[in-house]
Every structure is written in C-alpha cells, then in structure tokens.
Amino acid sequence: MADRKKYLKKTVKPVEIKAGANVEDLVRRMGDTAFQGRNLSTAVDIWEEMLKTRTTIFFGLAGAMVPAGMREVLVFLLKNRYIDCLVSTGANLFHDIHETLGRYHWQGSHQMSDTDLKDVGIDRIYDVFAVEEEFNIADRYIYEFAERLEARPYTTREFLSLMGKDLSKKGKAEGIVTAAYKAGVPIYCPAVADSSIGISLALKNGPDHLIFDLIGDVKETAELAARAKATGVIYVGGGTPKNFIQQTEVTATLQCKDVEGHKYAIQVTADAPHWGGLSGCTFEEAQSWGKIAKKSSHTTVNSDATIALPMIVTALATRMKKYKRALPNMDLKSSNKVSKRIWE
Amino acid sequence: MADRKKYLKKTVKPVEIKAGANVEDLVRRMGDTAFQGRNLSTAVDIWEEMLKTRTTIFFGLAGAMVPAGMREVLVFLLKNRYIDCLVSTGANLFHDIHETLGRYHWQGSHQMSDTDLKDVGIDRIYDVFAVEEEFNIADRYIYEFAERLEARPYTTREFLSLMGKDLSKKGKAEGIVTAAYKAGVPIYCPAVADSSIGISLALKNGPDHLIFDLIGDVKETAELAARAKATGVIYVGGGTPKNFIQQTEVTATLQCKDVEGHKYAIQVTADAPHWGGLSGCTFEEAQSWGKIAKKSSHTTVNSDATIALPMIVTALATRMKKYKRALPNMDLKSSNKVSKRIWE
Amino acid sequence: MADRKKYLKKTVKPVEIKAGANVEDLVRRMGDTAFQGRNLSTAVDIWEEMLKTRTTIFFGLAGAMVPAGMREVLVFLLKNRYIDCLVSTGANLFHDIHETLGRYHWQGSHQMSDTDLKDVGIDRIYDVFAVEEEFNIADRYIYEFAERLEARPYTTREFLSLMGKDLSKKGKAEGIVTAAYKAGVPIYCPAVADSSIGISLALKNGPDHLIFDLIGDVKETAELAARAKATGVIYVGGGTPKNFIQQTEVTATLQCKDVEGHKYAIQVTADAPHWGGLSGCTFEEAQSWGKIAKKSSHTTVNSDATIALPMIVTALATRMKKYKRALPNMDLKSSNKVSKRIWE
Amino acid sequence: MADRKKYLKKTVKPVEIKAGANVEDLVRRMGDTAFQGRNLSTAVDIWEEMLKTRTTIFFGLAGAMVPAGMREVLVFLLKNRYIDCLVSTGANLFHDIHETLGRYHWQGSHQMSDTDLKDVGIDRIYDVFAVEEEFNIADRYIYEFAERLEARPYTTREFLSLMGKDLSKKGKAEGIVTAAYKAGVPIYCPAVADSSIGISLALKNGPDHLIFDLIGDVKETAELAARAKATGVIYVGGGTPKNFIQQTEVTATLQCKDVEGHKYAIQVTADAPHWGGLSGCTFEEAQSWGKIAKKSSHTTVNSDATIALPMIVTALATRMKKYKRALPNMDLKSSNKVSKRIWE
C-alpha cells in the first residue's frame, strides 16, 4: 500500500538502560520513544532552537515551584540568559524573597494533621512545610521596602526590579528576583495583589498604599513581543503567567503591529484540554487566536514540573556548553507608544 | 469487634433510577452513595447551610465558564443573592460583556483545524467558537467606557460596578456584570490586566491609561471577611479567584483582626492535590494556613463545572423555595482602615 | 467572510436554573452548552438512538461502581434491557454478590487511618468501608458454588449465568448477577481470576480447581458482535471491560466476518488520552483500528461515573417511557464456528 | 514553639543545574525537593532497598509500554534480575512478540485523521503507529504456536514460558517474553484473553481451543508471595497487573498462610485516588486490606511512565554496579497445595 509509507518514517527505538548515563543522553534517546517521554525530549530541542536563533524567550512560572525546590533552576535560567522575560505568580516571588532573606522551606508530608500543623504555626504546601512566623519576616520586608518608594504607580516590572536591587544588597542568597535584576531580565507579575506580596502591601493604613500600573505591564510585554525578531514561550503550569504571555500577541495585533504569533512554544503541565480552561489548552487552540504562529514548533509535556523541568534544563545546559547566545533587546523605554487600534 | 462499630454508621444506599426524577431528588440520593457523587450532594448541603445562616458567601469563578454556557447560572446566583461577593478571572467577565452586548458564543468542536479557524477569524475555546471581530466590539466598548472615567485609580470592584451601571443601560441582555451591579454584589478581578479587559485598556496611547488599585481590592475583601459573622467560599476552578478569596483570612490575621478561617467551603475542580498547586489543594491544607477554619464544613467535588454547577444550583434552588435569606452587610466604605500589623 | 458561516450553526445557550427541574430536562439543556456538560447530554442522545434502532448494546463496567452505590443503576439497565451484554471486572461482580447475600458497603471517609482500619477488620475503597469478615461470606459462597459444578471448563458467561440462577434462589436482594440471569443478558468477566472470585476459587486444594474457558468468551462476544445488525458500546471506566468489547470487532475481522466497527459509542471516564493507554484513548483512535466504525456516533464524557451515570440513565429512563425496544438476538449456541482466518 | 521542631527536620534543597550531570546524580538531588520529583527519587531508594535485601520483587506492567519504547527497559530489568516476577497486560506481551518477530512500532502523531489511517491499514496508539498487516504475522505466530501445544489447560505462566523458549529460537531480537524465559522470571497475564493473544487463539475452529488455567496462576502467585522472606511490588500503571499482584496477600491470608502485606511498594501512575478505582488508589488504602504491610516503605510517583521509568531504572543501574543481589527462590512446583481456608 503505497500511501502508507508517508506515515512510517521513523521507528520507535526502545530506550536502552545505560548505567551512569547522563541526563542529556537519556533525554535525547527518549526522543525516539513516545508519549510524554518523547514530548519532553522535543521540548529540549525546541528550547535549544530558541537559543540558537535570536528569539525573545518568555517564561511563565505558575505552581508552588519555589517551595518545591525549583528556585535554583530559575536562577540558572536567569543568570545564563536561557530566558529573557519572566512572568510569575506572586506566590513564587514571595517564596523566593523568603529564601533570599535566609529562610527555608522544609521537607514535609501531605499526610499530616493540618489542624496540628496550624497549632504549631506551620503552613503546608502539599509535602512542603513553612514556618508562618518566618513568612512574616518577608511580609515585613515587602511592607517596609514599599514604604521607601516614592508615591507613584509602579509597573510590577519596575517594582520587582527595584526590589531585586534592594535585595541584592540585603539578601543572604541569590534568588529569582535578584538574579533577574542582575541579568537585566524583566519580571512581570500580573496578579501581584493575589499573593503575600499583595497582602503585605495591604497592611498599610489609609488610602495611600502602593499602586500598581498593570496596564503598563500589558503595554510593555506587548512591546517586547512586537519588536522581537521571533518569540518563544515556555510555560511551567498555566494560570496568569501563561495567559499573560499568550495575550501579548493579541494585544500587539489590536495595536495594529506586525505579529504572527509565538514561533516556539513549550508547556509543562498537569492539566488537560478537555476541561476547557486556558491552563490546559493546546497550542493548536492558541493558533486559532493567533497567539501561536501557524508555522511554529511547539510541544506539551504532561508532567509534574518538579520532574520535567530539572531534566529539561540539565539537558539543555549540557548542550549549550558549545554555543554563545545572541541576546535580544530587552530595553523598555518605548512601551507607551500605541499608535493605532484595530477599529481605526 | 466492638471498635469497628464507630466506623459503620451509614450504609451506602445504591441510587435507584426513577424516570422523571427531579434534580434535587437525584442529588439528595447521591448523598447516600460515594466518590464524587456523594461530594456533589454534600456541596448542596453545605451551600444550603450557608444560606440558612448569616454567612457572607464568596464565589470564585475560573475557567472559561461563560463561553461554556454557565452565564445564566451566575446571573441566577447574583439575582437571588445565593452569593455575596464574586471574584472572577478577567476572561469570564470579558465574555460576559461580549454576550451582554448582544453577541454569542457558538457550539463548535475541539477537532477542527485551528489554522483553518484562524483563516476565517474564529477563536476556539475547546469546543466553543467565537468570532474574533465580534470580540473587538467588546474591546472597543471597554476602551471607550474607560475613556469616560475620570482619571484616578480604581479598584477593580469600583471599575466593574461602574461598568455594570453603564451596561445596564446599553446592554442587550442581563449578564453577570449587570446583575451583580443591580444586586449590590461586588465583583473583584485580581488579574484584570491578564485578559481582554487589560488588553483593551492597553490600546490607549501614552502613559495616562487606566490605573487599577489592586491593593484596595485586597483591603476591601479582607474587610468583608473580617466583619462577617461567618464566611463561606465556593470555588469553580482554582486560579486567582480561589487564592484571592482564600487569602482574605491571611490578610485579616496579619491586620490583627479576629478571624478564624472560612467556615464553609466548596470547590468544584478538575485539578488534583498531588501536583502541589493552590488550584488543586485540599481544604485540609488550607486549614494549616488558617484560611479554612479548624471547625468547618467543606467538600471538594472533582468534576467539570459544566456538569456539577447546574446540578448543584438547580438542587439548591429547589430547596430554597422555602427559605428567605438574611443578607450580610456588603457596605465597603471602611476598608482602608488598617489599625495594626502582626509584627507590631 | 463567507467561509466562516459553516462553523457557526448553533449558539451556546446558557443553561437556565429552574427550581424543581427534572433531570432529563436539565440534561437536555446541557446539550446547548459546552465541555463535558454537552458531552453528557450527547451521551443520552446516542444511547437513546441505540435503543430506538435494533442495536446490540455492550456495556463495560470498571471501577468500584458497586461499592460506590451504582448497583441499582445496573439492575435497572438489565431489567429494562437498556443493555444486552455486560462485561465487568471481577470486583464489581464480587461486590454485587456480597450485597445480594444481604451484606453492605458503608459510607466512610478517605481520611481515616488505614492501619487503624486494618486493626478492626475494615477494608477501605476510597470513601467506602466494607467488613473483611463479611467479604469472607461471599468468598465461601463462591467456593461452595463452584464445588457443586461438574468438572469441566466454563466460559465466564456460563459460570456467571449459573451463579445468577443459584443466587436468584439464595440471594436476599436483586443484584447485577441475578438480574442479568433473569433478563437473559450474558455477563463476561475476562479478568475473572483477578478478583475475589478468582481468590475464592484458588482456595481449593489440589489441581482440580475450576477452569475458565476464556477463549470461549472471546469467540462468543465476537459472534454476538458479528451477527448484530449494529453494535453500540458504553464504557464506564476503561480496563479489561472496555478493551474486551472493543476487540470484538478485531476478532470478527480476523475471522473474515463482515463487520465495520461499533456504530455507537459512549465512554464515561476520568482518564485522558495523552498517557497513551487504552482506558483513556479516544474513539477516534479506535477508528484507526476498525473497532469503532468510520461512520459512527460517539462521545466521551470526562466525569466520575458516580455523577454522570445516574444522570444519564435517569434522563434516558424519562425519555424511554414512550418507546418499546425491539430486542436483538442474544442466543449463544453457534459461537465456536470460526470458518476462516485472515491469513488464509 | 517547641512542638514545631519535630516537623522541621530537613530543608528543601533547591536542585542545582549541572551541565553534564548524570541521571543518578540528578535523581538523588531531586530527593531534596518536593512533589513528584521527590517521590521519583524515593522510588529509586525503595527499589534499591528491595535489591539489597532478599526481597521477592513483583512487577506489574500496564499501559501501552512496549509501543512507547519501554521494551528494552523491561529486558534490562529481566536480564539483570531487578525483578523476579512479571505480571503484564496481554497487549504489552503481544506488542513484544511483534517486535521480537522483527517488526516495528513507528513514531506517529496523535493528530492524524484516524479514518485516513484506517484506509491505509495503520493502527494508532496515541502517537505511535503500527501496521495492521504486520500485527497479523504475530497473530499467526501465536495461533500456530498454540497448535503445537498438547491439549491441556495451561497457566498463563507456563504458556508464556513455553513461548519464550520457542521465540528464543525463532525470534529476531531479544524481548520481554524471551528474556524472562532465559532469566527464569515467571510472567503472568491474568487478562490474557483480553488482547491480541486471546484474539489469535479465538481464530481456532471448533471447541478445542486453548484453555488457560487462571486459578492456577492465582495459586502460584500467592505461593510465591507466601514463601518469600519479604515481598516488594512495582506498578507501572494500574489495571489487572496491579490488582493481581496486590491480591496475592489476600489469597495467602485466606489460605491461612503467614503473610503481612507487601513490604516495599512503588507505583508510577497517571491516575488519582479520588475516582475510587484500584488503579489510582493509594498504598495507604491497600494497608487497610492487608495488601501492603502496616510497616512498609512505599511511594507513588504521579508521572507518565515513559518519563519516570527510564530515569528510575537508569539511576538504579548506576547504583547497582556495586552490589550483587541474592536471588529469591522462584521455583513453582508446590503451588497447588492449599491446606486450609479461613473459614475452617
């Protein structure tokens, strides 16, 4: 049957076990298998392609990744500029600040009595524990940091950059916020008030609390996407970081800018498309919206990020020893210039 | 074995099939079964208990629930004051505005070619279609509505309330934003910029775009929680709405107010705890944080909300014909008064 | 844009809440929504279509559905011949026998100490409890029933039919095995030894324990499928029941019989396709194999069956009051005649 | 707060990225993190512990693991005796035979038209393709192999061992069935008829097709469990393999043998407990039944096995270079001796 041949290009090659194998080698060979193992391998290939071309790489971080021990992975990505723009939930940034201030998350269990934990002042995040009182140290730091700022609206990017500068002096360890500051990587936090950062700022008496300029964030990220030669996106979890990065292409389109959708896309998710939410939706669905380019390289890795992310980044780091990346322009001065709207 | 008896109080009663059975009857009998069917039945019982006591009920709405046909369920909940405060993703509100302006979502399929859909200007949300150009009508409405506002920061609650008033005159159909306005139910949208609402506002040229006062939202919701005789929470999906409502108890605690955690809690979710995220976490975990009271009634219904929500609310409506609810005080004037912080 | 119209045939109609609404009415209106709510509604339509045409209906039952209170739903389906052939896990049949012998499952909790439960002789099935000693009564019944059978191989169908006859006399309540016997509905249990049925039979000393003729089961089910005017399949969960029914079309094809794949198909599942297993796979995938017909009506309802199944069957029962079904021929005498193999 | 200390023993140590890191090193460091990454690391530790003690290791294999490229992992486990007894679905064994006969699975896509695939004779397993005609070669092999066997009932273990012997001569590559035969590892297939093995045997005309002695399988596995110094279980997916191995402890208990539940347990699963099924249930639940010992080491890794399994086994192989394992007695002669039943 002649027609059949076009479907039969490459056989599945059963993955061999090699004692002592390195991660990059194993991940590469997973590319010859199937299901999520193959997708994980493809994710490394796509990210590598982003790094080899002059692609602006957006990274969306959701889920309790810092408590789960992914902080150093992010620091690595920032320091080595494997990513150019970070969009995060507030919680991950708060937990990062907590650790940067010298405190810890603890290995716990998801099978403890939570009312007992409450009694001793321990907050549980699945199988991770944190000491409530120690969180208050970070709360207070954020509150007092904001007190020192002049009274005007701040984009979350500017707020976090200033905090990165401040923490670089005060902090006891390198973290996400400090490493991003040093590397010149902007961090956005579209739901900043929906976290202990927001809570800390809400402890201020009277109406003159800190004001975030969220629409400024939208404009800036659209500008970064619109000016890029090409954009790539990497999502760990869904939530606001994924949607916020996805919508840069929609915003730029409505601003009559010449964009075609993100060209490279990776997501590591435990969600599924059939619930209809944005967190679990496919990149194909995103193509209908123009968020992902019609011609694009993309893959979804259905996996807990605590497994997939260290593997992917270790494999990538192994490969990237050979390359030097050309960095995209991340300057943010022109972002308030919207010349035109789609209905005009 | 004497000890065994304490575990064996009620038998599972196999649910009988009755032609013509009404929803309330079936849901009640599901309470004698197990797994998620029993949880769904328990959810109705807990919500009924909230309505019978003077409980302030917070409702978190995530997922593409308006495109999926859940808009009238929300309108019903608002009109009949089965809920007192709504926290939503921006997308659900945008899609609501779109329908209020007389446009539609369409029954589609998740198995279409998304590049073909792109070519004809259709955006896909799993098995729902929407016409991109029609979305632009809502974009423009939001843009022009904001142009008419005086230049000052707005909490999302105030912004959405003003929009509810405006749409009540202009709109072609009753929707979530308008019904909430009429019922005096505040709507909060902690990630408002992360949606087409944010995109629309970002189409404004120059730096004088609309500024949201997110920290004001945090203060207000903490105030609503702190003053309530008791609070109840209902989550459809997770995301920012769940976290934002959960954190009211943490904020109030840090403000040295006398709170004990939400007393009633229901979540309808397709997520699971073992990924460690806030969206899928158990109410037990939330007890360690003090977000949920140590003594509380709570249940998690693992189900697509498009199945569970209409069932739960229909059953509830059937039961509530007999009751008249005493409404909690939702006045919002005093929310900027934070007298004390936990470290003082 | 002219091309767009073909995609826009029916709008999503938001489901209204009606106090006192009956299940059939709500389910029908869910058909105008989206996501799994719509699929659930479609499932009722497809099953109704099976009942209106002379379709042989196979039903696959996996998951702990009897402990979870779904036994009477099955009894209803059997008594009223909404299904023509049942394929089940052994556990569901064992739990059915346990209840038919007058014992119970109990409403428990998934948050008990399992080592405490062990100490008092209680077996847990998520939030259901059962008394270990009482299970032994069913174990003994099965053992002694088998002792009374003449020594020869039995298909699981024959074994379960004889047991249905026996239990109809001895049992204290109507159950699945007895109702199937009375209704002339064959039950198959392809993994019969992988359950307490198998355990009970393994308590026999020496080599002369009962022998099952599994290949006879394969032949019979292929025969039932091959002779049918059309076949429909309904799967609650996946596992061996789903695969065993799916493979009837493959077997019949290899026997050079004229089959085209199942014409109607419904599955209620909590699994997902992206893990690659048969339990979660789509009916589209099954079309590549010829298990599902190229022209077929099919839907997947992603839901816990304890919610979806009572709703679907109640809605169906409400509709079917008007119809009288023409029953397919379920006679099983000719099933050992395989005239030809595909390689001949 | 003195009480708090007992919960705070070990901090989460963020996993560092090291270019060129080997798998064992990364997996070990994942043990200092959280969520599923930590569980994966724990799985390696538990399996290592099994290999260092004289533990009889049962391995349950479900899901389309051979098409997905996991065949060589299994061959490695068998050859090196990291496992002592394999319980598998029929499909995995059939696909293994297919490859042993020199045929392939192909890297495909889950987004093809399945009706087009049907037209060209390709069967799809998520993103893997196989040629229908080539499957028929394996069908025919199985059919003709069975023709050569003397007419008497066979346990699946005996049948598969004889086939392993035969294929060792005829096969073109080492596979699971052949490697198990050579290593003296018994393979059980409790749902053997529910697969292409069963289909092939059903192509025989007349009533004298092959008869499997499933109860013999139950007796043998209970015997293997009862005689072991300690037992360990490893489940890839759930289904019949998991249940069949779990039930060995129940069978042995009912036979009045001295067992205490499996002492070590690992499962890699994409299922969740809250659906109530056996595939997704926790090892804690299994403790209530006595399937898992009250004192036991166990972990659940929520992950696609195509990611987790190669990582776990590579890490294990790296560690095991230093050890020589003492093999348990897998002799199977005495298995029909059941001296006593629990009700006697």
Q: What pLDDT was estimated at residue D322?
A: 73
Q: Tell me the pLDDT band of A135, cut-offs 50, 70 and 90.
A: very high
Q: Does C4 touch chain B (CB under 8 A)?
A: yes
Residue range B246-252: average pLDDT? 97
Closest CA to D267 of D34, D46, D105, D6: D46
Q: What is the mean pLDDT of chain D?
A: 96
Q: Tell me the pLDDT band of C2, cut-offs 50, 70 and 90.
A: low
Q: Which of C229, C291, C321, C322 is catalytic?
A: C291
Instruction: Answer whether A275 sits within 8 Å of C302, measured CB to CB.
Output: yes
Q: Does A302 touch chain C (CB under 8 A)?
A: yes
Nearest chain D CA: its distance from A13 CA (Å):
6
Q: What pLDDT was estimated at residue C71?
A: 98
Q: Which helix (H) or strand (E) holds B267?
A: strand B262-269
Q: What residues of A are in contact with residue C302 (Cβ under 8 Å)?
A: 272, 274-275
Residue range B180-188: average pLDDT? 98
pLDDT at C20 over 70: yes
Where b means 16+ CB within 10 Å and e means fewer, A39-72 reads bbbbbbbbbbebbeeebbbbbbbbbbbbbbbbbb
In this structure, the number of other CB atoms found within 10 A of the CB of residue A34 comes to: 28
Give the pLDDT confidence of D288-321 residue by residue, as tens digits. 999 999 999 999 999 999 999 999 999 999 999 8
Q: Does D166 touch chain C (CB under 8 A)?
A: no
Instruction: Answer whether D12 sits within 8 Å of A112, measured CB to CB.
Output: no
Q: Does B276 touch chain D (CB under 8 A)?
A: yes
Q: Outline where chain D has alpha helix (H).
A: 23-30, 35-52, 71-79, 90-100, 114-119, 132-147, 156-170, 176-183, 196-201, 214-227, 239-254, 283-289, 305-320
In this structure, the number of other CB atoms found within 10 A of the CB of residue B80 comes to: 18
Percent of chain B with pLDDT over 90: 92
Give the pLDDT confidence of A72-116 residue by residue, as tens digits. 999 999 999 999 999 999 999 999 999 999 999 999 999 999 999
Instruction: Answer whether C12 sits within 8 Å of B128, measured CB to CB.
Output: yes
What is the distance between the alpha carbons of residues A265 and A281, in angstroms, rounded to a whole number? 13
Where b means 16+ CB within 10 Å and e means fewer, D59-73 reads bbbbbbbbbbbbbbb
Give the pLDDT confidence of C166-224 residue by residue, as tens digits. 999 987 889 999 999 999 999 999 999 999 999 999 999 888 999 999 999 999 999 99
Q: What is the pTM of this model?
A: 0.97
Determine the Cα angle at B194 with ends B191 and B195, to 5°: 115
Locate B75 and state its tokens.
Answer: 């309108």
Closest CA to D152 of D90, D213, D217, D214: D213
Give the pLDDT confidence of B80-120 residue by residue, as tens digits. 999 999 999 999 999 999 999 999 999 999 999 999 999 99
Give the pLDDT confidence of B258-315 residue by residue, as tens digits. 999 999 999 999 999 999 999 999 999 999 999 999 999 999 999 999 999 999 999 9
A and B: number of Cβ contacts within 8 A: 267
Q: Nearest CB to D276: which of B34, B274, B275?
A: B34
Give the pLDDT confidence of B26-72 residue by residue, as tens digits. 999 999 999 999 999 999 999 999 999 999 999 999 999 999 999 99
Looking at domain A34-103+155-193+210-319, what is its CATH homologous superfamily?
Answer: Deoxyhypusine synthase (3.40.910.10)
A and C: number of Cβ contacts within 8 A: 23
Q: What pLDDT was estimated at residue D136?
A: 97
Q: Nearest CB to A35: which of C36, C276, C302?
A: C276
What is the distance between the alpha carbons of residues C43 and C267, in angstroms, rounded to a whole number? 8
Instruction: Give the lowest-confidence range in A169-183, B173-187, C71-85, C319-333.
Output: C319-333
Q: Tell me the pLDDT band of D344, cut-offs 50, 70 and 90.
A: confident
Give the chains touching A; criterion: ≥3 Cβ pairs < 8 Å.
Answer: B, C, D
Q: Does C272 touch chain D (CB under 8 A)?
A: yes
Residue range D30-43: average pLDDT? 98
Q: Does B173 touch chain C (CB under 8 A)?
A: no
On whether the CB atoms of residues C259 and C83 are closer than 8 A, the answer is no
Q: What residues of A are in contact with residue B342 (Cβ under 8 Å)?
A: 136, 139
Q: Which of A182, A257, A291, A333 is catalytic?
A: A291
Instruction: Answer whether C275 sits within 8 Å of A36, measured CB to CB.
Output: yes
Q: B101 to each of B27, B96, B137, B156, D286, how far by Cα in Å?
A: 35, 9, 8, 20, 55
For helices A132-147 and A90-100, the axis angle rounded to 10 degrees is 100
Q: What pLDDT was estimated at residue D334?
A: 64
Q: What pLDDT was estimated at residue D321?
A: 84
Q: What pLDDT was estimated at residue A1?
A: 56
Q: Nearest CB to A68: which of D34, D68, D304?
A: D34
On whether the CB atoms of residues A135 and A98 are closer than 8 A, the answer is yes
User: For residue D206, what is the DSSP state?
Assistant: S
Give the chains touching B; criterion: ≥3 Cβ pairs < 8 Å.
Answer: A, C, D
In this structure, the number of other CB atoms found within 10 A of the CB of residue D13 comes to: 16
Where b means 16+ CB within 10 Å and e means fewer, A263-283 reads bbbbbbbbbbbbbbbbbbbbb
Instruction: Answer whether D20 sits within 8 Å of A22, measured CB to CB.
Output: yes
Residue range C48-72: average pLDDT? 97
Q: What residues of A are in contact with residue C35 (Cβ under 8 Å)?
A: 274-276
Q: Does A276 touch chain C (CB under 8 A)?
A: yes
On whether the CB atoms of residues D195 and D18 are closer than 8 A, the answer is no
Instruction: Answer whether D274 sits within 8 Å of B272, measured CB to CB.
Output: yes
On whether the CB atoms of residues C280 and D279 are closer than 8 A, the answer is no
Strand order in the sheet with C262-269: C187-188, C85-88, C55-61, C230-236, C262-269, C292-302
Q: What region does D290 belong to: left with phi over 0, alpha with psi -120 to 50, or beta?
A: left
Give the pLDDT confidence of A293-337 residue by residue, as tens digits. 999 999 999 999 999 999 999 999 999 987 789 899 898 876 677
Q: Nearest CB to C13: which of B35, B37, B69?
A: B69
Ranges of each domain in chain A: 34-103+155-193+210-319
On whether the CB atoms of residues B81 and C48 are closer than 8 A, the answer is no
Q: What pLDDT was estimated at residue B2?
A: 59
- Mutation site, B155, B203, B210, interface A, largest A CB count within 10 A: B203
Q: What is the CATH number that goes with domain C30-101+154-195+208-320?
A: 3.40.910.10
| Alpha-carbon D251 to chain mean position | 20
User: For residue A245, what is the DSSP state?
Assistant: H
Instruction: Answer whether A23 sits within 8 Å of D24, measured CB to CB.
Output: no
Give the chains touching D; criterion: ≥3 Cβ pairs < 8 Å.
Answer: A, B, C
Q: Compute the CA torsion angle B4, B8, B9, B10 (nearest 10 deg).
A: -170
Give the pLDDT confidence of D216-258 residue by residue, as tens digits. 999 999 999 999 999 999 999 999 999 999 999 999 999 999 9
Q: What pLDDT was estimated at residue C301?
A: 98
What is the distance between the alpha carbons of residues D6 and B142, in angstroms, rounded to a whole number? 54
Q: What pLDDT was estimated at residue C337?
A: 75
* CA closest to A70 among chain D residues: D14
CATH fold of the domain at B37-320: Deoxyhypusine Synthase (3.40.910)
Strand order in the sheet with D106-107: D106-107, D128-131, D122-125
Instruction: Answer whether C275 sits within 8 Å of A34, measured CB to CB.
Output: no
Partner C, chain A 104-163, Cβ-Cβ below 8 Å: none
ipTM over the 0.90 cut-off: yes
B and D: number of Cβ contacts within 8 A: 23
Q: Does C85 touch chain D (CB under 8 A)?
A: no
Instruction: Answer whether B127 sits within 8 Å of C3, measured CB to CB.
Output: no
Q: Does B207 touch chain D (CB under 8 A)?
A: no
Q: Which of B9, B10, B291, B333 is catalytic?
A: B291
- Mutation site, A5, A17, A320, A322, interface D, largest D CB count within 10 A: A17
pLDDT at D340 over 70: yes
Q: What pLDDT was estimated at residue A333?
A: 75
Closest CA to D286 of D327, D343, D333, D248: D248
More confident residue, A324 or A40: A40
Please state the φ and ψ torsions of residue A266, each to the nearest 5 degrees. -135, 135
Nearest chain A CA: its distance from D272 CA (Å):
12
Domain D17-320 is found in CATH 1.10.3720.10: no
Strand partners, C264: C232, C297
Q: C24 to each of B27, B321, C59, C186, C311, how far by Cα in Å?
A: 13, 21, 21, 29, 8
pLDDT at A195 over 90: yes
What is the distance between the alpha carbons of residues A167 and B168, in angstroms, rounded to a whole number? 48
* Residue entry with tokens 């020589």: D324
A135: burial class by Cβ within 10 Å (0-12, 13-18, 19+)? buried
Q: Could you give the 3-state DSSP secondary structure of residue D325?
A: coil
Q: Does C255 touch chain D (CB under 8 A)?
A: yes
Q: Tell me the pLDDT band of C1, cut-offs 50, 70 and 90.
A: low
Residue range A141-154: average pLDDT? 97
Q: Tell me the pLDDT band of D215, cut-offs 50, 70 and 90.
A: very high
Q: What residues of A are in contact with residue C272 (Cβ under 8 Å)?
A: 272, 274, 302
